[in-house]
Amino acid sequence: MELKRRNRVNAEFSMASMTDIIFLLLIFFMITSSAISQSAIDVKLPKTDATNPSVQDPSTVTIKEDGKYYLNDEEIAKEELENVLVNALKDEENPSFTIRADENTKHKDVVFVMGIAETHKFNLAIATIQND
């Protein structure tokens, strides 16, 4: 008498679940990498003891140690900064920007940009790095 098994074990490996996981990881990394915006301009930010950093605004004014101004990584003359910044933020519901100033930047350069924010009622954040 010959006994036969009703259920045969399938020796094939299904890649469907592995493919799903890979696609989910790909989507996750694509979304998180676009949320991080890093500037190409190298400045040494001042340090702070704040443990709860706020979200970075999409518009950034960077001030280098030598007094050069950049709006979103594009160099702007000091005389043109106010007009360009106002035009960049005019369509926003709650206009705001971040100041990224080198730790050795002159105080008057930072105050100049803060004055622009005060004049046009822009919200303002100052970028720092956390102490270790």
In the structure, what pLDDT confidence band is assigned to residue 35 with cuts at 50, 70 and 90? low
Residue 53 pLDDT exceeds 80: no
- Provide CB contacts within 8 A for 41, sequence distance 6+: 62, 64, 70, 73, 100
In the structure, what pLDDT confidence band is assigned to residue 26 with cuts at 50, 70 and 90? very high
Q: Could you tell me if 49 and 128 are in contact, meaning their C-beta atoms sit under 8 angstroms apart?
A: no
Q: Could you tell me if 85 and 77 are in contact, meaning their C-beta atoms sit under 8 angstroms apart?
A: no
Which among 82, 75, 5 has a CA at the least distance from the CA of 39?
75
Residue 14 pLDDT exceeds 70: yes
Residue 39 pLDDT exceeds 70: no
In the structure, what pLDDT confidence band is assigned to residue 94 with cuts at 50, 70 and 90? confident
Q: What is the pLDDT of residue 37?
A: 60
- Provide CB contacts within 8 A for 69, sequence distance 6+: 61, 62, 63, 75, 76, 77, 78, 81, 109, 113
DSSP class of residue 127?
-
Q: What is the mean pLDDT of residues 33-42?
A: 65
Residue 109 pLDDT exceeds 60: yes
Residue ranges of alpha helices (H) inside 10-106 are 16-35, 78-89
Percent of the chain past pLDDT 70, that is, above it, reads 78
Domains and CATH numbers, the chain: 47-130 (3.30.420.270)
Q: What is the pLDDT of residue 24?
A: 92
Give the CA angle between residues 131, 96, 110 to the nearest 5°. Answer: 60
Residue 57 pLDDT exceeds 60: no
Q: What is the pLDDT of residue 22?
A: 92
Q: How much is the mean pLDDT over the chain?
A: 81
What tokens does 105 get?
Answer: 């930047």
**C-alpha 94 chain-centroid distance:** 18
